[in-house]
Structure 1
Amino acid sequence: MRNSSIEIAGLAGTLFEPAGEPAAVVVIHPATATPAGFYAAFATYLTENGIAAITYDYRGTGRSGSPRDHRDAGMRQWIEQDVPAVTAWAAGRFPGLPQLAVGHSVGGHALALGRGGPGLTAFALVASHVASIAAVPGRIERLRVRLVLSVLGPALAAVLGYVPARRLGLGEDIPVAAVRQWSGWGRLPEYLFSDPEMRGAERAAEVTQPVLVIGLSDDPWATQAQVDRLAERLVNASVERRIFTPAEAGVNRIGHHGFMRRSARETLWPELLTWLQKRIANATP
């Protein structure tokens, strides 16, 4: 196996390749404020099973530039520009191979809107949901999210020129525009699907690939009801749904990020791998 740094339209990423010829390529589209390195273990797991994988950082996050220098990079840009750019690069680097994707949280939103392109063989959504703040369970957690996204984040951004998400307990630092978009969509009843400029319902209806929707029973944000609301938008896709519990994972807590942690390698990852392998087998002549 070998790993190599790559640059795609100003985005920094890593290509993970198996020792032999890969059976397919999987692009891993990250969650908000989650660096590419977080997905390295899962990408390595894929290469150990003969599948090439690509991880990367959205514009203005991680190794793809500082959030201060990319203050105008918002979630819409990530969805409509960054995700398609990496998808196109993967198709050009591995022509003729099945193209698959795994989208975590906002990465899954992009795939659900068809931004992974019509050439995708199949994709999986992990902890992706209709992220309405009003639907966050628990009054205290709901107030905390509102405070961070609507008050603290914008106030600190006005002083620093970026949102110090790390200090706020939200992961890596992110651009001002991303938090504004996150906060704005979060106040809408159907998240980005309530934003007419996104044409969410129309775009989701154009998705026809097989989709695996993964939810986590103890996710404080992406509840099963909200995960289902996103899945229901994929009206013309073949959708399979799976919800995992901490007991199945062999841990005390999974949460919003736990599925992609190394602790899930022996318990949860094999189910996703098996699903991907079946889609690869169906697509291979």
Structure 2
Amino acid sequence: MPNKNASPVTSEQVTIPVAAGGAVAGILRTPSGSLPTAAVVIHSATAVAQRLYTGFAEYLCENGFAVLTYDYRGIGASGSPKVNRNLRMRDWMEQDVPAAAEWMAGRYPDLPQFAVGHSLGGQALVLNNGTEGLAGFVAVGSHGGVTRAVKVRKERIRVTLVLRVVGPLCARVLGFAPARRLGLGEDMPATAVLEWSGWSRQPGYFFDDPSMHAAKRAAQVKADVLAVGLSDDLWATPAQIGPFFGHLVNARVERRNYTPDDGGVPAIGHMGFFRRSVKDSLWPEVRDWLGERIPNRS
């Protein structure tokens, strides 16, 4: 007799080594009682712990995907931000993201590989990190994070104070930024905050940082890309998202913008796409886009 209380998702705690040193803590979720048809890695936003993506990861699992979530080093379960004070944002993008992608590809070498990047996670994918062998990737709320481009004045002032004054000061004095108290997610390593602060002052964000070689790297991306924007996202506005994905000159980029009405909710913002309140309205859009790129399922 079947167990009606059995979970449709099996979860496994995993530790993934990073070649540069240290490791990231993750959770691998797989469909219970059946083999997955594809593999997905979810790359988090800046200072956002993987728990935000739990519902979305479980949803994809229930639809046949094996899904990996993880925390960047110095965030959440992947170590103290103070101990990891010298980690830069680019280290997350260039080291942690590929490490997670390579681990998942090694775990499921015969499955189509996909990625979903949120904000910073999508930025990393646009810079061709963790994209080798991908059948496609989805980027949600990924943008050029320039503070002066934030249209709502109150939010622009708040973000400017945090990224240019309070955050850098705390980073230098404490060795980390108390981002949780500042309303920016999990506490962050000092150097990551300082690098973020510098990029946020540039009109082209890290595309104006010559050490990033960002335009060249973005031009190397050739996978299918779905760029998702939310109309009430105060940070990733259409003015930020459009030019950012314009750097993917050799990729097939599809843009979709959703409103709270599309989601059937009062608000979505920068984080709300991954909350269960839009499970029935917006998540099927991503599920179907991924599914169309699985051989024999399109």
TM-score class normalised by the smaller sequence:
over 0.9
**Is 1:272 equivalent to 2:283 in the alignment?**
no
Aligned counterpart, 1:2: 10
Alignment-mate amino acid for residue 124 of structure 2? A
**What letter is aligned with 1:55?**
T
Task: Tell me how far apart the structure 2 counterparts of residues 118 and 57 of structure 1 sit (CA, whole Å).
Answer: 21
- The SS at the match of 2:176 is coil
CA offsets 1:214-243 (integer angstroms, 9 cap, x no match): 000000000012111111111110111100
> 2:25 aligned with 1:12, yes or no?
yes
Pick from 66, 69, 72 the counterpart of residue 86 of structure 2: 72
Does residue 1:56 correspond to 2:87, yes or no? no
| Unmatched 5+ stretches in structure 2 | 1-8, 18-22
| 1:157 CA displacement | 2.3
Hey, what's the Cα distance between the residues in 2 that align with 1:66 and 1:187?
Answer: 27
Structure 1 stretches lacking a partner, 5+ long? none
Could you tell me which residue of structure 1 aligns to residue 5 of structure 2? none
- 1:97-136 to structure 2, matched below 5 A, reads 97-136=111-150
Partner secondary structure for residue 63 of structure 1? helix
The verdict on how the C-alpha distance between 1:282 and 1:236 changes in structure 2, with shifts beyond 3 A counting, is farther
Contact 2:170–2:178 (Cα < 8 Å) also in 1: yes
The aligned runs of 1:87-236 (5 Å cut-off) are 87-236=101-250
Residue 134 of structure 1 and its aligned partner are, at CA, apart by 1.6
Contact 1:212–1:242 (8 Å) recurs in 2:
yes
- Structure 1 counterpart SS, 2:248: coil
Is 1:44 aligned with 2:58? yes
Helix, strand or coil at the partner of 2:295: helix
Give yes or no for contact 1:30–1:105 (8 Å, CA) kept in 2: yes
TM-fit CA distance, 1:283: 8.7
Q: Is the 1:129–1:230 Cα contact (8 Å) retained in structure 2?
A: yes
Counterpart Cα distance in 2 of 1:211 and 1:181: 27
Partner of 1:32: 46
User: Does 1:23 find its partner at 2:57?
Assistant: no
Deviation at 1:160, TM superposition (A): 2.4
Q: Structure 2 length as normaliser, TM-score?
A: 0.93
Identify the residue that residue 258 of structure 1 maps to in structure 2: 272
Asked if structure 2 preserves the Cα contact closer than 8 Å seen for 1:24 and 1:51, the reply is yes
Q: Which amino acid aligns with 1:7?
A: T
Equivalenced residue count is 284
Tell me how large the CA RMSD over aligned residues is: 1.2
